[in-house]
Structure 1
């Protein structure tokens, strides 16, 4: 039970954290910030926005680096109505005939041909004819657009390097120019067209996430149309621009970013690039299983989804073990286009080499990639360091791992693949000895490794069974309460590298264990160790910071940790570490309104398996056919929170209508009302019909009247207007 928020009849606090708790956190962060070394005087963003000139600007906390030099729309409108400080007119120009000015009476007479000075207080004043003010406003607007474009270019470059959608969205919002959204869309498309599949996949996903949240639909459509109008120019740099832009447009249609009717607006004379673009879009959207094809149009494991990238690396190394083709490995690695993630490739290659009695093929592979420049020395060193940090764990399964790793390290040092000074020793933050402080000199407890291995087994079994009671019982049987922080740390780490289902399971597990099995001190120590190792964790899990924020906030909301933990953990973290940023951001999120509700739903209820979703949809349909309550059916569909999966509900509804022909009217009525209310989009509705259309031959084996009935239902839907795409 959570503590009530209004004790003694007081008004409830507008945020989860009290004023005293926020002040304590602010004080702890300020003290830690004082320990941070002074920043370098250079300010690259400011220099870029000032035409490349260097500027010594002190960075400001909480300020968007991309908005440096930008004025908001409100500022711009305010400046438009301010008098300029220059002498004479509002633009700073001297008044004609020397009239006006300080200590003057103004012009006595106006000669023929002289223009009378404009008085903005004159009742007959028309701002639309005041050329000086119009010219000034348009010049200032042009400057704002130019600065916005430069800021967007830097934003996109940073996004392509980091993959942080949240940061990109916040940075774009802080530019505070929603009316320039189409410039962002066009620039994102143009930039991605000239890059690899990874960046194109990232761009498609980014536009989908920003749609109607940061960029309004009209600006998205305008941006795509601007890119289409620039086809001739884009073709000079990207010869296959028509094919690539067609994929972007069709992917946006599948993602519900563009309406299907957008393709019909692409107009051009026969033989033109525009006509070719429209034809290609129509072919893609008219192909069989076009949705699945377009969702993978930039290639599987295009580099944006890191779990897919890891899987691609794993597959290429498996093929190399069978074929020994080093050139093919180099080619696939180039196509992945993730140079910042090559340390993962090095790590996996080394681990496979340590498992193999013959390390020569793996040494030859790494040597060739280093000599060709495919893998940089820094990435090679980072990969070696990651293996060294986890060598204790590797030895549990492979007792000869240390001896073989030392031999490989010696070969790498001799060949110059890794940086000078690399020793192969684990870093202090990741010693692998289970010590809570992470100190390499701390005494090693002989049973830590056994407990860690057991803890990992317990968590993996829990992911399969979901039995919280079994977890508690096994921890009690291990009889090592002083090591429970290790269990907390590794349970969260395992969940972070999986799906929302496992993350929800771990978040739900912790309150059942604390404090009955795991003490609050041990839980706090586990989270402190996670925060201290956040920088290393981000090498394996790029969005580790955001996931840690959600786990930490959820633990505080569920009373696994007290709110004071945020302030108390700060002294144990490095001043300029990711852990400090996680604590600060978690405090901000907990200070927002409805923080408890937001953290309760942070993992979306853990609905992870397709089977679970389909079972709930089938249950929804059965209840609707029994009761006929449309409102309840719509509410249940909303609660599933899977709008991207509504096509499966449509397909299941159509199958139910075919199977229960007598109740077909009720089922079609449900689909019609869902389409009319907007709960199911036209794209999802058409996709559902398309699914059944592609499976009619199989369905007819069990239901012979299926083709006839399906055509009847589709004709009725098109005629009534709730299906607009056949």
Structure 2
């Protein structure tokens, strides 16, 4: 090949080959002689370059040229350019990373082909990272590539879109534009038109909302429904309607109505709206009393509870001397003021509608059942006990009443109390206050707990057996299967008993 010249990038110094047969113009072979602290590989077969490398510390001694002339002793300028400046154009010298494991490491690693050479560990053997110095080391196709894999989930949706060709005769430009050139804009729906309802229609809708609230107990849903049908001037009608409907329901529904009034305050109605609604009820009390004779008493409870919930100012209950009120309205305000004037009355108004209802805690219901049973055992008033049980309004929890009554009987160890509890059970069954299913569940709960009860009451098995036989003679409110499953306490068999449980006949005279 022709001689080539090497032009330095920064020094503008040229090494031009001699076409007269100079050693620099010979064909280049590869010599790997590297200084340990430099990253230079010298590519040359020139004797002068070899002597330069020797003087630069790359090993060897300066040698004479091929023509017998001595090698130059000071070509340091040229070598320093080769060492410090990376060449441009055709690379005669390239930078390589320094070798981490040299042959000086006590012969552990050496040059390939020598006895002390040990192959290094292949750290990248199973690595997914690209080996061509490109890529970020992430798995191909987002982890969806590989044998037996169809691709990334969801990619099949866009396959047809990516393969569409505008030059295809079946290409649909409208479908393409509809799927690519899409601009989303926010659309705010217009509010529904306000339809003016009559007072009768509003009352009918509010009654349906209130009855649904009695079923689910969701005050937020009830408030949303009332907001949609009410205008500003019709808001006092809410209090009048929901309190009027609560007059015809039980204590638990009245408690839920008081909770609803408290939740509507500040969201649907204001304090003035609540006061205006109570004023309308006070004026209409004579008509309401035709259907609900105790309406003044109930309205007084509602007013006192609203004051305790900070929905109505306290002075409202002390305005019984207003001239526009009749005697029934004054009695309602007097009832409210009396409740507020009791010692600790404001805190006790949480139970103004009683302590019953499915929304009450289980511990509260159980405590009330124990109190009414103790009161019945002392007074023996069966009608009062029935009324108290009805006021609890927990027919699904009557098995707890049966359980507590039987435990009271076992602890008393008194036949008079056994007779009273038996009479109570027979009355509750005949009046259908307690269902047969609840009765049986209560008895079976006692059966299951007898192993623990007998630890506190050693004679529990004998007392329970006597009580069951008494209930069996009193009536047929206990099933035959329940009587048959009565638990009995086992006893140890003595040595004097035979295998059949009979006592052996022993003649002591014959043994003398």
Greater RCO (CA < 8 Å, at least 6 residues apart)? 1
* Greater gyration radius: 2
Q: Same fold (TM over 0.5)?
A: no
TM interval, shorter chain, is 0.3 to 0.5
Using structure 1 for the length normalisation, give the TM-score. Answer: 0.33
